[in-house]
Amino acid sequence: MTSSAQAACEDALLAILQADATLAALAGPPQLFEPQDPKDEHVWISEDSTETQEASLTGNIPERREDFTIGVVVFVVKTGDDYKRTRDRGVVLVAAIEGLVKANPQLAGAAWYAEVVGIVRTSAAWDKRRGVVHVVSVRCRQYLLGP
C-alpha cells in the first residue's frame, strides 16, 4: 500500500509536459545565476505542495481519498522592458499546460482525476531583464486502499 500518490502524479505530469516540445519542461528549478545565463523560458514542477487525506469505509473496504495540488511554474524572461510580450508568451505556455492536463485528466493512470484549478501571475525582474512567473495549480485526486 502506498501512503501517497503525489510523487507518482508529479512524475507523470512532468513526463506529459516533457513530451510536449513547445514547453521544454525541466525536472526541477533552473539555475538562474552564473555560470548559466537564464534562458527566455522555463517550465518546471514546483517543489511546494499541499496534501490532504480522508479515510472512509465503502461497504467493507476501507479507503483513503487523497487530494493535493501540484504547481507548474512558467517563468518567461525577455531582454528589455516589454511586459506585454513577456506576459503574453507566458499566457501561451499556460494555455498549453491547461490543454495537456485536460487531455490527460488521469495523468497516465497516476491520478483518479486531475484538473487545473488556478493560476497565479507575479513579476520577477533583475538587471536588464523583465520576468513574469505564472504558477499553474493542478489539483489531483486519488483513492488509496487501506485505512
Of 44, 134, 124, residue with least CA distance to 88? 134
Q: Are 132 and 123 in contact (CB under 8 A)?
A: yes
Q: What is the DSSP string of 39-62?
A: -SEEEEEEEEEEEEEEEEEETTEE
Model pTM score? 0.85
- Which H/E stretch holds residue 116? strand 113-126
How do the domains of the chain map onto residue ranges? 6-145
Evaluate whether the domain defined by 6-145 bears CATH number 3.30.310. no
Q: Beta-carbon neighbour count of residue 14 at 10 Å?
A: 20
Residues in the chain: 147
Per-residue pLDDT of the chain (147 residues; tens, 9 = 90+): 357 888 999 999 999 999 998 898 988 787 766 555 567 888 999 988 777 777 776 677 767 788 999 999 999 887 666 788 888 999 999 999 999 999 999 999 999 999 999 999 998 766 667 789 999 999 999 887 655
